[in-house]
Amino acid sequence: SVTPRLVQISERNEFSLHVEFDDNSEAVFGLFDHQRQLADFRRIWQHATENGRLLANINLIPRRNIPVTFRSPAPRKAMVVEE
């Protein structure tokens, strides 16, 4: 799967940034240690995708126990089965 594309970055407060992506997920980044935070985002996003989950929100400031919330995938469409 392709990592979502960044749509918008805004200042959340004096020590963090709010980032929105084109798949409707959102992330909070600290002002420092961006390489680690981006690596964590990619790893967690890929793991979620491989397990059929969609990220809603993620806070990448903590180094461990990163808070993540998921959203429900779109409901599957019913299939007509001929008897």
pLDDT at 34: 94
Residue 32: DSSP 8-state: S
pLDDT at 45: 92
The edge-to-edge listing of strands for the beta sheet with 16-21 is 6-13, 16-21, 26-30, 54-59, 68-71
Q: Show pLDDT as tens, one digit a residue, over the chain (83 residues).
A: 677 899 999 998 999 999 999 989 999 999 999 999 999 999 999 999 899 899 999 999 999 999 999 997 656 666 677 76
pLDDT at 74: 59
Q: pTM score, two decimals?
A: 0.79
